[in-house]
A and B are shown apart, each in its own frame.
Chain A
Amino acid sequence: MMELLQFSLCFMAFNCFALAKFNHFREVFKKKLTDKQRHSFLATGWITILLSLVLSVLSEGGYGALLFCGYMALSVLMLMILYSFTVSWVKHISILNLSILLLSCFSVMIF
């Protein structure tokens, strides 16, 4: 469950980085990205990616750092496919990502 939490955080981070770009934001929300929104996306992205890295390293040490590199690759690949071929799914996938993130977070805290 810890791995799922780390990956969800990493995926969310890259999703935020993608949404902080004017073209991707316009394709998803059909409106212009404001500067305030851009900064919020970037801040959330940086916080979640660092959280993912810290959690990976804290739980598994050097092995966790390797896992984190893998999570980054998988996240970017999935997002590239999502934004290039099925941009209408971005909202749904983002909600799914957030739900998995919360669920895995709760289960890590409980067990």
Chain B
Amino acid sequence: MKENFFRSMTWLHTWVGLLVCWLLFLIFFAGTISFFKDEITYWFEPETHTVTHQDNRLAKQRQQINYAVEQLQNKAADSSSWRIYLPEPRNPLYTYSYAEPKQPGQRRAKFTETYLDPTINEEIAPPRETKGGYFFYRLHFDLHYIDVRTARWLVCLASLFMLIALITGVVIHKRIFKDMFSFRKNKGSRSWLDAHNVSSVLALPFHIMITYTGLITLIFMVFPYPAQTVYEKGLQQMFNEASPIRARVESSDVPAPLVSMNTILDQVYTKSPDADIGFFFIRDANKESSRVSVYLNTGKEVVDNGAAFLFSGSTGELLAEQGKDWSASARFYDSMTALHAGRLASPLLRWLYFLCGIAGCAMIATGCIMWAKRLRERLKPQQQAGVGLKLVETLNLATLMGLPFATASFFIANRLLPLEMVARADKEILVFFLAWLAMTVLAIISSSKRQWQLAAWLNALVCFAVPLVNAMTTEGNWISYLLTQKWTLFCVDFGFIIAGSLFILQGKKLRTASKKVSTRRFQKPKDLKEQQG
């Protein structure tokens, strides 16, 4: 009975994991990178690198909002929407924008943005057109090119499979604490098993948390039935009631002057004396239906939707406050989203999140490599590999080596594509997928050890090319970033140097491994049994 139970759990772990491991690797990889979404976007916009973080950030927020509103009144008094983004620790820029009139057939209005250096309060040239870190963020759950709803269903199913694989993995891993720090080198598939175990166990709380909270973030798409039963108008009504500040009112044509922003800010600071304002949105300015929404940053609180206020823009009256009377379940849902997104994280926690994310990627990668390796080791000398094994090996090489290659190419494309190119942001993304396609073609040709070695060298080459191309095309380089203490930019460049060095190590390791294999071919195959574990 007990043996049967463990056998069935092992079966479930293997197949549930293998079925979705490549998609899971993409989700984990993109998710891990998006922990540094804002930092990557900053790197992608070298035009803004001259902007430095301002001192006394909070003390200047009132003045900045008043200045932006004054500018918007002069530039676009009739616009349906104004947005003001204040500088924050991860983004030193101060931006205001207004919606252009919608063109026929256009779903969303286009926004014209103005970028300011907050330290001197002067406009700077708009940065190049790019998606930056936002691309990885959307790739994490929208998978690009695929219809959004289908993609999110796929991501949800993959997460569910991951959760099952995690639970069954804990069940079948009998020596979970005994082997906690053990990694046996050069032992064939036994080493891969150790790497798989260590990478799963070291960040197990994170893996379970991130998979569970990931499912929770999309739960209303997967399971909308309770909301559809309780609310007459379904999910939309539920969301409107939970966040009344997002509810839209009918736009009126009756003109009414916009109230002084100080009237609104005084109320915000009375309610929350240490308020750190993140965004300041105004809809239908100078009309009777005018609404002003003020969103506060959450700091280190484990909440995703922090305090926010909705005011009438014509009277200055407080109309709604977010999160004040939320039920326990609404707060639970919000904190789960906060845990998943990690927007609350300070640099230390952000790096720890990143480390755990990398451990997750390593867990998935070692899992799928191990499956192929074990099957290949069990093949008899004259036996040919089956279609299944070949497919897994090809997908392994294409995904595990293709994604880092595509990412580095995406970074290089940002620096090398002409600035005046039409739809430049989309072209950068196209480079990402073309680079991935190139690695896939390489994997289809052959997925032998030599091909892995070639992929490792190529990856090392593109990784080292990123800081090099950056140094040649912009005014800074990773040494000047170090000297001027521009840590965000330094970390991106240095991250690629470390990744490149790891790929060189991998290439060297693969070379010695293939040499060993070729010498062993002429010897008697002795400890095969031990390798199979």
Name A's B-contacting residues (CB within 8 A): 3, 14, 17-18, 21, 23-24, 60-63, 66-67, 69-74, 76-77, 79-80, 83-85
Least CB distance from A102 to B in Å reads 21
CA distance A72 to B352 in the complex (A): 10
10 CB-based A-B contacts, threshold 8 Å: A23-B182, A62-B302, A63-B301, A67-B352, A69-B206, A71-B352, A72-B202, A72-B205, A79-B181, A80-B202
Inter-chain CA distance A101–B344, complex, in Å, is 27
Q: Tell me, yes or no, whether B324 is within 8 Å of chain A by CB.
A: no
Residues of B within 8 A of A83 (CB): 181-182
B301 to chain A, nearest CB (A): 8
B1 adjacent to chain A (CB < 8 Å)? no
Residues of B within 8 A of A85 (CB): 185
B348 A24 Cβ-Cβ under 8 A: no
Q: Does B353 contact A (CB under 8 A)?
A: yes
Identify the interface centre among A3, A72, A85: most chain B CB within 10 Å of its CB: A72
Which residues of A have CB within 8 Å of B301?
A: 62-63
- B178 on interface, CB distance cutoff 8 Å: yes
- Of A3, A74, A80, which is in contact with the most chain B CB atoms at under 10 Å from its CB? A80
> Which residues of chain B (295-324) have a CB below 8 Å from chain A?
300-302
Q: How far is the CA of A17 from the CA of B177 in the complex (A)?
A: 9
On whether A63 and B181 interact (CB within 8 A), knowing A69-B206, A74-B355, the answer reads no
B35 smallest CB distance to A (angstroms): 12
Give the size category of B's interface with A. Answer: 20 to 34
The listed residue with most B CB atoms (<10 A of its CB), out of A17, A66, A80, is: A66
- Are B300 and A18 in contact (CB-based, < 8 A)? no
Q: Closest CB-CB distance, B527 to chain A, in whole Å?
A: 20
Please tell me if the beta carbons of A76 and B300 are within 8 angstroms of each other in the complex. no
Q: Which residues of A contact B355 (CB under 8 A)?
A: 70, 73-74, 77
CB-CB contacts of B453-484 with A at 8 A, as 1s and 0s? 00000000000000000000000000000000
Complex interface: chain B residues within 8 A of A84 (CB): 181-185
**Main SS of the interface on chain A?**
helix
With a cutoff of 8 Å between Cβ atoms, the chain B residues found around residue A80 in the complex are 180-183, 198, 202
A63 to B203, CA, bound (A): 17
Partner of B348, one of A3, A17, A76, A79: A3
Q: Is the CB of B300 within 8 A of A63?
A: yes
Q: Is the Cβ of B335 less than 8 Å from the Cβ of A62? A: yes
CB pair B356 A70 closer than 8 Å? yes
A70, B349: Cβ atoms closer than 8 Å: yes
Contact of A76 among B180, B339, B349 (CB under 8 A): B180
- Sample of 11 more A-B contacts, CB < 8 Å, known A66-B345, A77-B355: A18-B180, A63-B344, A66-B339, A69-B206, A69-B209, A70-B356, A71-B352, A72-B202, A74-B352, A80-B183, A80-B198
Interface residues of B in 318-361 (CB under 8 A from A): 335, 339, 344-345, 348-349, 352-353, 355-356, 359
Which residues of B sit under 8 angstroms from A3, Cβ to Cβ? 348
Nearest B-chain residue to A63, judged by Cβ: B300
Say whether A76 contacts B353, CB under 8 Å: no
Please give, as numbers and ranges, the residues of chain A lying within 8 Å of B163 by CB-CB distance.
none
CA distance A73 to B301 in the complex (A): 22
Cβ contact within 8 Å between B349 and A66: yes
Given contacts A62-B335, A63-B302, A67-B352, contact A73 B181 (CB under 8 A): no
Q: How distant is the Cα of A71 from the Cα of B348 in the complex, in angstroms?
A: 10
Interface residues of B in 171-199 (CB under 8 A from A): 177-178, 180-185, 198
- Taking CB atoms, residues of chain A closer than 8 Å to B155 are none
B352 near A73: Cβ-Cβ < 8 Å: yes
Please name all residues of chain A whose beta carbon is closer than 8 Å to the beta carbon of B335 when the two chains form the complex. 62
Q: Is B72 an interface residue (CB 8 A)?
A: no
> Given the complex of chains A and B, what is the CA–CA distance between A60 and B348 in angstroms?
13
| Residues from chain B with Cβ under 8 Å of A23 in the complex | 182
Residues of A within 8 Å of B205, CB to CB, are 69, 72
B185 and A76: CB pair below 8 A? Answer: no
When the two chains form their complex, are residues B302 and A24 in contact, meaning their CB atoms are under 8 A apart? no
Q: Select which of B180, B302, B349 is within 8 A of A17 by beta carbon.
A: B180
A82 to chain B, nearest CB (A): 8
Q: Are B359 and A73 in contact (CB under 8 A)?
A: yes
> Using Cβ atoms and an 8 Å threshold, which residues of chain A touch B364?
none
Q: Does B201 sit at the interface, judged by CB under 8 A?
A: yes
Q: Please, how many angstroms separate the alpha-carbon atoms of A18 and B202 in the complex?
A: 13
> Which residues does chain A contribute within 8 Å of B202, judged by CB atoms?
72-73, 76-77, 80
A87 CA to B22 CA in the complex, in Å? 35
Q: Is the CB of B201 within 8 A of A76?
A: yes
Closest Cβ of chain B to A21, distance in Å, is 7
Which of B184, B201, B202 has the most C-beta atoms of chain A within 10 angstroms of its own C-beta?
A: B202
Closest A residue by C-beta to B299? A63
In B277-301, which residues have CB < 8 Å from any A CB? 300-301
Q: Which of A67, A70, A72, A76 has the most CB of B within 10 A?
A: A70
- A residues within 8 A CB of B359? 73, 77
Please determine whether A76 and B181 come into contact, CB atoms closer than 8 angstroms: yes
Q: Please tell me if the beta carbons of B353 and A24 are within 8 angstroms of each other in the complex.
A: no
Chain A residue at minimal CB-CB distance from B198: A80
B300 partner, pick from A17, A60, A70, A71, beta carbons under 8 A: A60
Q: List, in ascending order, chain B residues with CB within 8 A of A72's CB.
A: 202, 205
Closest residue of chain A to B203 (Cβ to Cβ) is A73
Partner of B352, one of A17, A21, A60, A70: A70
Check A18–B356 contact: CB distance below 8 A.
Answer: no
